[in-house]
Structure formats: C-alpha cells, structure tokens
Amino acid sequence: MTELGIGVIGMGWMGQVHARSYSLVRQRFPDCGLSARLVICSDNVAQRAERARDLLGFEAATTRWRDVIEHPAVQVLSIAAPNNLHLEIVEAAAAAGLHIFCEKPVGRTPQETAQIEAIARNAGILSFVGFNYRWAPLVLHAKRLISDGALGEITQYRGRFFSMYGSDPLGLLSWRFDREFAGYGALGDIMAHATDMALYLCGPVKRLVSNAHTFIAERPLPIPGVGTHYSRGAPEDPKAAVSNEDYVGALLEFENGARGTLEASRSIVGPKNQMAFEINGAKGAINWDFERMNELQLYLGEDGRGDGFTRLVAGDRYPWHGNFNPGEGSGLGYEDMKVIEAWQFLRAVADGRQRAPGLADALAVAEAHQAMIRSWNSGAWEAITSMRLD
C-alpha cells in the first residue's frame, strides 16, 4: 500500500470535495494499492479550516497556506482557493517539488494559465486539473465510441455550460463576480469545462468568433467566509458592480473540419447545471447533459440512416461505474466524478507519470479562450495561437 500525504488549500466547496474524494479513493478503488493521508488543510477563515479538519479528518489546520506547502508530510497539494491565489501557490508548490491538483480555471486570465503551466513544467512536477466532467462514466463511454470511429467523421459539435448560480439579481457578489479575484467570469468559471470537453471529444480548434455580455451589472455584497456563490442577499443590502462577464458564446471551426458552437451562461433562467454536448458524425450522434448524467442519447446508423436515438442508462458496464454501484440504473452523482478524478491523480503521482487532464490541457483551453477574448474586441474570426512560454 502506498500512502500519499495530502495538503489542501481553500476549504470552501471544492476543498471539502477534494478532501472527501481523496479519502474515498481506497474504498472505491480497493485494488489500486493507494491510500490518502489527510495531513493539513488551510483556509484564511480559521473556522472553515478547523471545521474541515474536524469533519474531514485532517491532522492539522492552518490559516497560513504556506504552512501546507512547508509541511514535511505533504507530497501532493490540492489548490481549491479562489483563482487569484493559484499562481502564487503554484510557484511555492513547484519550488517545494510538490505535485499539484489545481482547480479550474488555473489562472485568472489565459496569460496567467500559461505562466502557471510553464512554472510547473520547468519544475518537473506532475499536475492535474479539475475538468471533472470528463470522468462521468457515460462521457468516458462517449469518448471511446468516438475514438473507435462509431460515429464516423465528426461533422458538428455543440457544447454548453448553462448554470443558474448567477440568475437571481440578489445572488451575492461572491469572488466569482470580481475580476481581481476571479479574472474572467463565465469564461473561466464554466466555459472552461465546456471548452475542455470540446477539445477532449472533438480535437483542437482552428479558429473561432465569439462575444460576451454581462446581464446583471450589480449584486449585494457578501459577508466574508459565509455562504457560497449560490447564496442570496436582501433587496436593501449594499451592492457593488459586477466586473466580469455573465455570458460567452462562440462559433468554431475545428482542425478536423467539424463545425460547432460553445455557449456558457451563469445568469440563465431555466437550466440549472447544464454542462452538455451534442455531437454529430457521418454515422451517428451522441447527446449528453450533466443534469441527466446517468443517461446518454446515442444514435447509430449505417450511412447516417437509423431508427433514431437510443437512451443508454448508466450501469456497471461503463467505466468505473461498478466501483460505486453494482448493476444498472443506480446512478452516480457529482462527487463520484471527483472520486474517479482523485484516483486518477493519485495513481499518476504513484506511477510518476503525467496523465490528462493536466496543465497542458488547461493551456489548450486558455489558448482557445484567448482567441475568444481577441474576438470580443475585434468582432472577427480569430485563429488559435500558441501561448506556451519557455
């Protein structure tokens, strides 16, 4: 049994999810020979750090994130703090030789992501990025069908991430709505998932045209350390300006000739957490939507002629599902994807082998996003260009 010492920085939603996921790796993947030791967690709000220690089983808690990196028993680090801290934390982790699992968006801007990728690459550490929707068993099945050529040549790809978290004008102005802390808005926060999925399933993008918009210009101020980005204020609460975008849309041409669209909105009314894609090939088609993560719509027909879509239901015939529930039809949820993700990261560290999605994948997403940002300003089609730094 290989035991890996874990440190986590930022004990809000994601930090807690990472900690629980590491703890479950051994239970869900008992043959992997890996176990996680939760060494130390950090949050600048002492109560959050201490509560995470007590509830999740860390040996220690601190309000100073550098204590996590300096702890002699920490071998791998999860970065689940707000985006403005990622660069500084990666710099310190890379200098200490720690392997990192960084939440998306890696940087506040595409340039910051490129900086972080270069720092980690030059330090020779292993990286992993929280593009967790890749790990849904039916998404893994879709990837295999595409790789095996079951859909034929891909002709069209439509990806979207429609979230409700900013749809209420009284939704609090959490750090996500503040350019200084978050960087870009819907682009980094949710389009990052949709773009990664498009690159993963359909391949590199050649050029694109894009626009962005902020629908809700101001929001009530939050109380630091209390609530999440789903929390609401009251009409009489003091308000401040939103400084990044609620919506991003793009029209794409992929290098393989496929045409497509990507759309992300955090203030849309109707969808709740629609991280979804629709893919059409010459011989078939696939639709998947995280709101129904345990279903996949599949159309297979010779020469594009078939009887319509078949509904596949999640079960242990699909990758890793059986590590959670036996048989078919007992569905998985969000945190189950995070457990598969944590296992993939820990096995990469144990094997000393970089696996995907790592910072190279985050850089590819950043390059597509930089083209979107250029297009917001130029109003024109923009080619994807390399942002890789030495």
Say if CB 236 and CB 185 are below 8 A apart: no
* Shortest reach from residue 58's CB to ligand NAD, in Å: 13
Position 5 contacts ligand NAD (CB under 6 A): no
Span near ligand NAD by CB under 6 A; candidates 44-52, 117-125, 288-296, 345-353: 44-52
Position 83 contacts ligand NAD (CB under 6 A): yes
CB-nearer residue toward ligand NAD: 9 or 56: 9
Span near ligand NAD by CB under 6 A; candidates 40-48, 204-212, 353-361, 380-388: 40-48
Position 158 contacts ligand NAD (CB under 6 A): no
* Edge-first strand listing for the sheet containing 154-163: 310-313, 295-300, 284-289, 273-281, 154-163, 259-265, 247-254, 205-213, 382-383
- Going by C-alpha positions, the residue among 109, 217, 223, 129 that lies closest to residue 175 is 223
Position 65 contacts ligand NAD (CB under 6 A): yes
* Shortest reach from residue 200's CB to ligand NAD, in Å: 14
Say if CB 212 and CB 262 are below 8 A apart: no
**Interacting residues of 122 by C-beta distance below 8 A, sequence separation 6+:** 94
Site map (CB under 6 A) of ligand NAD, residues 262-281, x = contact: --------------------
Query: What is the spatial distance between Cα 307 and Cα 299, in angstroms, rounded to a whole number?
Result: 8
**Which positions from 207 through 226 interact with ligand NAD, judged by CB under 6 A?**
225
Span near ligand NAD by CB under 6 A; candidates 9-17, 111-119, 231-239, 290-298: 9-17
* Shortest reach from residue 322's CB to ligand NAD, in Å: 24
Span near ligand NAD by CB under 6 A; candidates 6-14, 196-204, 251-259, 285-293: 6-14
Position 149 contacts ligand NAD (CB under 6 A): no
DSSP one-letter string for 166-208: T-STTB---GGG-HHHHSSSHIIIIIHHHHHHHHHHH--EEEE
Number of Cβ within a 10 Å radius of residue 336: 23
Q: Which of 27, 122, 228, 378 binds ligand NAD (CB under 6 A)?
A: 228
DSSP one-letter string for 249-298: EEEEEETTS-EEEEEEESS-SS-SEEEEEEEEESSEEEEEEGGGTTEEEE
Interface ranges with ligand NAD (CB under 6 A): 9-15, 42-45, 48, 65, 80-83, 85, 103-104, 130, 132, 189, 225, 228
